[in-house]
């Protein structure tokens, strides 16, 4: 082979490692999504599923891009102190439901806090924000809403490595009332099923897609098909949070555990500086009214685009002078208020949500985020419009998984200005 001329382009490092190669690398930290970030000797980033920070691992490369490798964990050469053997037997059978079960539950909130700090540093350039990991919530039997796929009339979860459905003989994170339906239910003619239970009311519901005709579950369970919901049928259960009873319809969002909902309410209350009932309160992306109800607002303004959720909110807030606006936040004309909570879907506020938040001129804002990258983008935008980020408190609603909720507290720097122009 001829020698490379001295002025030839440097060798592209991506050429030196290929798919199928085995590499031994140290892991540095978790990233949003739950993978561990490791670095090769020449400094390239490797994302590895199933590893923890502070380990030395052997992994097989599964994807090569110019600046990023993906790899599959083969062996943990030096384990992190927080590594544990997952207790759920379904994981060994390939269930992809709990992607952080290899970390000790007590260590998970801090691992997630580090992911949030890193997102704020890298994406928002906010370096010294206090991010509290929050108090751990029970890591088993907690989940009151569970979405499952169906194979051969039985419920299961997608495999970690493919789209195959692993039919499960149990689920450690599902609330026992939900786990029983997942394991014993028969779902003939169903592709996907959502099991919802009220942990504190004992009420249960199964929502089957595309139809519920072939569903067989105990007689106490309300059963409804998405075809029936489309034709206008209503079905709901109730749950209790912070001493309040909530109606939750089949297609309304509700937090997936009542103790977690209480932790969120408490974090939002703190972020808003403990507003009294008479504070002008706006609840953006308000759902069935969790924050409006539980924070005790006398006359909340709730903005929500789901008709089912607004109908529930009307019932849940019937003892208040609430203004319920069934519309997209994009179309809301901000009204001035003292305090505002915004709890958007995974994509975050985006420009329209940020404009709505800032347009209200709220002196205090609580932003509830379920994606660290979206949180960082939104925080940067809100800070850019004249707010100070006071701190972030995490609520670990979903132990054993990489998911986390973050409540960020913002304060308007010039509170006399009632509406911030955007």
Ligand X SMILES: C[S@@+](CC[C@H](N)C(=O)[O-])C[C@H]1O[C@@H](n2cnc3c(N)ncnc32)[C@H](O)[C@@H]1O
The least CB distance from residue 292 to ligand X, in Å, is 9
| Phi/psi-derived region of residue 141, left when phi > 0, alpha when psi is between -120 and 50, beta in every other case | left
Task: Kindly name the residue from 95, 171, 337, 370 that is annotated as catalytic.
Answer: 370
Q: How far apart are CA 96 and CA 164, in angstroms?
A: 10
- Give the distance, in angstroms, between the CA of residue 265 and the centroid of all CA atoms in the same chain: 16
Measured from the CB of residue 388, what is the shortest distance to ligand X in angstroms?
24
Q: Which is nearer to ligand X, 254 or 410 (by Cβ)?
A: 254
Query: Closest Cα to residue 85, out of 62, 104, 66?
Result: 104
Q: How far is the CB of 403 from ligand X (least distance, A)?
A: 12
Residue 56 is inside which H or E element, if any? strand 56-65
Give the nearer residue to ligand X in terms of CB position, either 286 or 361.
Answer: 286
Other CB atoms within 10 Å distance of the CB of residue 320:
17
Q: Which is nearer to ligand X, 83 or 238 (CB)?
A: 238
Closest by Cα among 136, 171, 145 to 239: 145
- CA–CA separation, 100 vs 97, rounded Å? 9
Indicate the residue among 186 and 327 with the shorter CB distance to ligand X: 327
- Least gap, CB of 114 to ligand X (angstroms): 23
How far is CA 383 from each of CA 125, 376, 422, rounded to the nearest angstrom? Answer: 11, 10, 12
Q: What share of the chain is helix, strand, coil (3-state, %, to 5)?
A: 25, 30, 45
Q: Is 231 exposed, middle or buried (0-12, 13-18, 19+ CB in 10 A)?
A: exposed
Report the distance separating Cα 190 and Cα 74, nearest Å: 36
Residue 370: active-site member? yes
Question: What DSSP line would sit under 72-119, residue for residue?
Answer: EEEEEEE--TTB---S-HHHHTTB-S-TTTTB-GGGHHHHHHHHHHHH
187 or 253: whose CB is closer to ligand X?
Answer: 253
Smallest gap from Cβ 315 to ligand X, in A, equals 14
CB of 51 or CB of 146, closer to ligand X: 146
Nearer to ligand X, 142 or 254 (CB): 254
How far is residue 63 CA from its own chain's centroid?
27
Looking at beta carbons, which residue is closest to ligand X? 287
Residues that bind ligand X (CB under 6 A): 253-255, 285-287, 290-291, 303-306, 309, 328-330, 343-345
Phi, psi of 102 (to 5 degrees): -85, 0
Number of helices (H), then strands (E), in the chain: 9, 23
Cα dihedral 71, 77, 402, 139 in deg (nearest 10) = 150
Shortest Å distance, C-beta 145 to ligand X: 11
Give the other-Cβ count within 10 Å of 222's Cβ. 16
Q: Tokens for 241, please give them.
A: 């949070």
CB of 309 to ligand X, least distance (A): 5
| Rg over CA atoms, the chain | 24
Token pair, residue 162, equals 């493919």
Which of 228, 304 has the CB closer to ligand X? 304
CB of 144 to ligand X, least distance (A): 12
Q: Tell me the catalytic residues.
A: 370
């Amino acid at each position: 082979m001829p020698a490379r001329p001295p002025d030839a382009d440097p060798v592209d490092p991506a050429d030196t490692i290929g798919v199928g190669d085995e590499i031994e690398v140290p892991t540095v930290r978790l990233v949003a999504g739950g993978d561990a970030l490791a670095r090769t000797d020449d400094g390239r980033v490797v994302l590895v599923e199933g590893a923890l920070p502070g380990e030395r691992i052997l992994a097989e490369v599964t994807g090569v891009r110019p600046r990023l490798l993906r790899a599959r964990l083969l062996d943990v050469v030096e384990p992190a102190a927080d590594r544990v053997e997952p207790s759920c037997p379904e994981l060994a059978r390939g269930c992809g439901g709990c992607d952080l079960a290899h970390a000790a539950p007590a260590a998970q909130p801090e691992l997630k806090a580090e992911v949030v700090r890193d997102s704020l540093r890298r994406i928002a350039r906010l370096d010294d924000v206090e991010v509290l990991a929050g108090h751990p919530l029970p890591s088993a039997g907690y989940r009151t809403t569970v979405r499952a796929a169906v194979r051969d009339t039985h419920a299961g979860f997608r495999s970690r490595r493919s789209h195959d459905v692993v039919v499960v003989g149990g689920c450690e994170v599902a609330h026992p009332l939900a786990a029983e339906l997942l394991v014993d239910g028969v779902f003939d003619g169903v592709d996907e099923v959502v099991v919802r239970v009220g942990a504190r009311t004992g009420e249960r519901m199964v929502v089957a897609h595309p139809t519920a005709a072939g569903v067989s579950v105990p007689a106490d369970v309300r059963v409804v098909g998405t075809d029936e919901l489309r034709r206008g049928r209503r079905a709901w259960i109730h749950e209790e949070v912070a001493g309040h009873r909530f109606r939750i319809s089949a297609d309304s969002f509700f937090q997936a555990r009542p103790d977690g909902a209480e932790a969120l309410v408490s974090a939002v209350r703190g972020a808003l500086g403990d507003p009294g009932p008479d504070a002008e309160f706006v609840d953006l992306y308000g759902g069935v009214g969790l924050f409006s109800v539980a924070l005790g607002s006398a006359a909340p303004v709730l903005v929500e685009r789901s008709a089912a959720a607004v109908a529930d909110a009307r019932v849940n807030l019937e003892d208040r002078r609430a203004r319920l606006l069934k519309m997209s936040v994009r179309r809301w004309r901000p009204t001035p208020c003292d305090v505002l909570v915004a709890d958007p879907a995974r994509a975050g506020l985006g420009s329209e949500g940020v404009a709505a938040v800032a347009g209200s001129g709220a002196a205090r804002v609580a932003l509830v985020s379920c994606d660290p990258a979206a949180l960082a983008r939104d925080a940067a935008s809100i800070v850019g419009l004249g707010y100070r980020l006071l701190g972030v408190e995490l609520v670990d609603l979903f132990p054993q998984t990489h998911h986390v909720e973050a409540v960020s507290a913002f304060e308007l720097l010039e509170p006399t200005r009632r509406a911030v122009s955007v």
